[in-house]
Amino acid sequence: VVGIARHFGQIECLKLVASPRFTDKCLRYLGIMLLSDKNQDVLTLITNPLKNDMNHSNMYVVGFELCTFANIASEEMLRDLANEIEKLLDSSNT
């Protein structure tokens, strides 16, 4: 992916946010992990979908979300999502 603009791919991955399908969520998180850079604008757009999926009923979606968060987290994202992550760590379901 060297030399290719990643912004287009990042936006396409964000478009999968609205999809309730498990496969779309998997593709979204894998794409975000592979295509993300430290572009603060895109990371800001990713924060809310990550927060929403922390409360998902499917533990695999939550796992993908946490893996993505661990790979791309910025200081600002950590501040925004710290309480939700702490709740997940205290939960018996994860």
- Across the range 23-39, mean pLDDT stands at 79
Tell me the per-residue pLDDT of 36-91, one tens digit each, with 9 for 90 and over: 776 667 777 788 888 888 888 888 888 888 888 888 888 888 888 999 988 888 87
- Whole-angstrom distance, CA of residue 2 vs CA of residue 37: 12
Q: Specify the pLDDT at position 44.
A: 79
- Whole-angstrom distance, CA of residue 46 vs CA of residue 29: 10
Tokens 């572009």 correspond to what residue? 39
| pTM, 2 dp | 0.75
